[in-house]
């Protein structure tokens, strides 16, 4: 096991290994997603309160879970990269930012679309939507900083710090927004609470959650491979690869 | 040459920054003017109905304070970066995070403290009751150091960049949200005649957290930016 | 079948959500693919230039 990790730290080996791994992850992701969609759109019963609109949950909730999960992964990878100077961890951290921002965006948009029939408005300053919006800003800050710093090595390290600062702040922001929300709106019941979850609704939700996790793994590895190609462009194995592909 | 010990180094740095600021005291006025001006724009934008102003006043003043703090952040490392003394600071034998506290403290004395002086005036302009103005001062005293501390991390991350200003606001403003929520709410609550101990202790907790964690992050960020 | 697409009257909201999800996911897949292609082409061009300047 240790040997495996040691070898994975070599960019060349990582590139080759993930090249073989990605198709399998992709197939698994597709399988879970199709099963989840079938289960969620056809098998799961109509909710007696929300009708069929609750089916948005099967993309909204996994996306919201992923948005936070990816930020945690990004900060952890960034911390590992900063402390032990592992380049691969830096690469994983920055490769996570775009996917994370996408999932946050998805959670926001689907939440807002779900809110329209439920609340009668496209946007309500609900605690969760607001937190999600701030999370999107945090992601955009990370991406903007990475793009602004010329030297990508420095950029990756700077964004790792920013991600760590963000991770300390996320619970505080979340708590403060929740607190603010109860003060200003009174204890309105959040409609996004899974409606008295039935097992038939839980299964597609979990299937979609697994599918989204696998999707993240596929995309983050693809991005990491690009990043590695760029960083290792002067090494022998990349030149060989370029020669073979052209 | 003798080397100063840590507390001496701290005081030297603090005095140096204050002296430099004193020589350019006209620059100190700008964020203050900005603070007053932004606040004065709101009645013009939303109407001068006193009950309305009283209701939204705490939020307006705090948002304006947030923006003024953001605007003045850039100066904390700018001249040090330009003349190379920032790199000297990095080579100092003392722990950089302690020196960062000195820099932030000096910066807060220059840019944060003056906000407290004009804040009562703005409170009067927006027709806040006396209790609310008193709470406003306390929240500013507790909150603006947090803004300086968090903001300095952002400045340290963007110090070498040519177009750092826009990015700085993107990095820093989301992190300012908890301060805004607790502080503005405290002012509004005390305006309604209710106790605000809970708000103030939350703000104090934020301040303690920011003082203990952010200097290390600033130091690490500076080392990366200047490497 | 048409009942399935009708989604109990919420068709617009449900399909809009799933549609946007699909678009975002596809975009996430495509962007690294295109990036890789561009990178390889760029590196190949650099290689050629280097070889030409050697001879």
Chain segment B129-171, per-residue pLDDT in tens: 989 999 999 999 999 999 999 999 999 999 888 777 789 999 9
| Segment A80-96 mean pLDDT | 90
A232 found inside a domain: yes
What whole-number distance in Å separates Cα of residue A10 and Cα of residue A6? 7
pLDDT value at residue A185: 56
> Is C13 an interface residue toward A (CB < 8 Å)?
yes
Using the beta-carbon criterion (under 8 Å), do C43 and A42 form an inter-chain contact? no
DSSP string, C1-52: -HHHHHGGGTHHHHHHHHHHHHHHHHHHHHHHHHHHHHHHHHHHHHHHHHHH
**Does the pLDDT of residue A152 top 60, yes or no?**
yes
> Which of B163, B174, B213 is the closest to A137 by Cβ?
B174
Q: What's the CA angle centered on A145, arms A144 and A147, to 5 degrees?
A: 65
A25 found inside a domain: no
A9 found inside a domain: no
Domain count of chain A? 1
pLDDT value at residue A1: 63
Subunits with 3+ C-beta pairs closer than 8 A to C: A
What whole-number distance in Å separates Cα of residue C36 and Cα of residue C41? 9
pLDDT (tens digit, 9 = 90+) per residue, B113-129? 999 999 999 999 998 99
Nearest residue in chain C measured CA to CA from A38: C4
Using the beta-carbon criterion (under 8 Å), do A165 and B170 form an inter-chain contact? no
Model confidence band, residue A184 (pLDDT cutoffs 50, 70, 90): low
Q: Which residues of A touch B174 (CB under 8 A)?
A: 134, 137-138, 141, 169, 173
Least confident of B31-40, B84-93, C35-44: B84-93
Model confidence band, residue C1 (pLDDT cutoffs 50, 70, 90): low
Assess contact for A18 and A224: CB atoms under 8 A.
Answer: yes
Q: What is the mean pLDDT of chain A?
A: 87
pLDDT value at residue A192: 52
Structure tokens at B136: 């406003």
pLDDT value at residue C55: 67
Using the beta-carbon criterion (under 8 Å), do A173 and B167 form an inter-chain contact? no
pLDDT (tens digit, 9 = 90+) per residue, A22-49? 999 999 999 999 999 998 888 888 877 7
> Which of A138, A161, A172 is the closest to B221 by Cβ?
A161
* C11: containing domain: 2-54
Complex-level ipTM:
0.89
> Which of A46, A114, A215 is the closest to C8 by Cβ?
A46
Using the beta-carbon criterion (under 8 Å), do B177 and A177 form an inter-chain contact? yes
pLDDT value at residue A186: 45
> Is B118 an interface residue toward A (CB < 8 Å)?
no
Assess contact for B99 and B6: CB atoms under 8 A.
Answer: no
Assess contact for B135 and B203: CB atoms under 8 A.
Answer: no
Domain count of chain C? 1
> Is B171 an interface residue toward A (CB < 8 Å)?
yes
Assess contact for A94 and A146: CB atoms under 8 A.
Answer: yes
pLDDT value at residue A2: 65
Structure tokens at B167: 């990015």
pLDDT (tens digit, 9 = 90+) per residue, A187-239? 444 445 555 567 888 889 999 999 999 999 999 999 999 999 888 888 888 88
pLDDT (tens digit, 9 = 90+) per residue, B171-195? 999 999 999 999 999 999 998 888 8
Nearest residue in chain A measured CA to CA from C4: A42
Q: Which residues of A touch B181 (CB under 8 A)?
A: 176-177, 179-180
Buried-state track A224-245, b at ≥16 Cβ within 10 A, e below 16: bbbbbbbbbeeeeebbebbeee
Q: What's the CA angle centered on A216, arms A84 and A61, to 5 degrees?
A: 120
* A173: containing domain: 55-188+196-236
Q: In the structure, do chain A and chain C come into contact, i.e. share 3 or more CB pairs under 8 Å? A: yes
Question: What's this model's pTM, rounded to 2 decimal places?
Answer: 0.90
**Does the pLDDT of residue B28 top 90, yes or no?**
no
> Which of B150, B174, B181 is the closest to A141 by Cβ?
B174
Q: What's the CA angle centered on A178, arms B212 and B148, to 5 degrees?
A: 30
């Amino acid at each position: 096991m240790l040997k495996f990790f040691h070898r994975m730290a070599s960019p060349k080996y990582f590139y080759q290994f993930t090249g073989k791994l990605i198709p399998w992850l992709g197939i698994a992701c597709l399988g879970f997603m199709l099963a989840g969609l079938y289960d969620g759109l056809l098998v799961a019963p109509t909710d007696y309160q929300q009708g069929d609109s609750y089916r948005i949950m099967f993309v909204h909730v996994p996306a919201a879970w992923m948005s936070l999960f990816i930020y945690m992964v990004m900060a952890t990878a960034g911390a590992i990269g900063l402390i032990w100077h592992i380049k691969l961890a830096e690469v994983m951290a920055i490769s996570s930012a775009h996917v994370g921002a996408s999932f946050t965006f998805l959670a926001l948009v689907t939440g807002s679309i779900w809110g329209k029939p439920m609340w009668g408005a496209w946007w309500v300053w609900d605690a969760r939507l607001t937190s999600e919006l701030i999370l999107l800003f945090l992601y955009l800050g990370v991406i903007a900083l990475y793009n602004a710093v010329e030297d990508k090595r420095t950029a990756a390290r700077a964004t790792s710090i920013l991600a760590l600062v963000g991770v300390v702040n996320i619970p505080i922001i979340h708590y403060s927004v929740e607190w603010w929300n109860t003060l200003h709106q009174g204890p309105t019941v959040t409609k996004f609470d899974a409606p008295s979850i039935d097992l038939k609704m839980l299964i597609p939700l979990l299937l979609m959650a697994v599918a989204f996790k696998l999707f993240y793994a596929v995309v983050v590895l693809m991005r990491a491979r690009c990043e590695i190609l760029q960083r290792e462009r002067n090494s022998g194995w990349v030149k060989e690869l370029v020669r073979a592909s052209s | 040459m003798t080397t100063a010990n840590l507390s001496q180094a701290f005081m030297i740095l603090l005095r140096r920054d204050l002296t430099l600021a004193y020589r350019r005291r006209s620059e100190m006025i700008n964020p203050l003017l900005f603070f007053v001006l932004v606040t004065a724009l709101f009645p013009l934008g939303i109407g001068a109905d006193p009950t309305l102003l009283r209701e939204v006043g705490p939020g307006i003043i705090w948002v304006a304070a947030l923006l003024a703090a953001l605007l003045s952040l850039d100066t904390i490392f700018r001249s040090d970066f330009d003349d190379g003394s920032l790199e000297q600071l990095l080579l100092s034998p003392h722990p950089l995070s302690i020196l960062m506290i000195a820099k932030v403290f000096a910066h807060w004395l220059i840019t944060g403290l003056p906000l407290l002086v004009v804040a009562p005036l703005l409170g009067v302009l927006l027709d806040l009751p006396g209790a609310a103005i008193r709470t406003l001062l306390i929240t500013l005293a507790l909150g603006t150091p947090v803004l300086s501390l968090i903001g300095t991390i952002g400045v340290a991350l963007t110090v070498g960049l040519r177009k750092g200003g826009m990015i700085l606001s993107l990095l820093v403003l989301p992190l300012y949200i908890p301060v805004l929520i607790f502080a503005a709410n405290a002012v509004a609550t005390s305006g309604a005649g209710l106790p605000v101990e809970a708000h103030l202790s939350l703000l104090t907790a934020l301040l303690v957290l920011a003082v203990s964690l952010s200097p290390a992050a600033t130091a690490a960020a500076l080392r990366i930016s200047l490497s | 079948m048409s009942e399935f697409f009708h989604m109990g009257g919420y068709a617009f909201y449900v399909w809009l959500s799933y549609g946007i999800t699909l678009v975002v996911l596809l975009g996430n897949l495509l962007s690294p693919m295109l990036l890789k292609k561009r990178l390889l082409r760029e590196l190949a061009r650099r290689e050629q230039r280097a070889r030409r300047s050697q001879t």
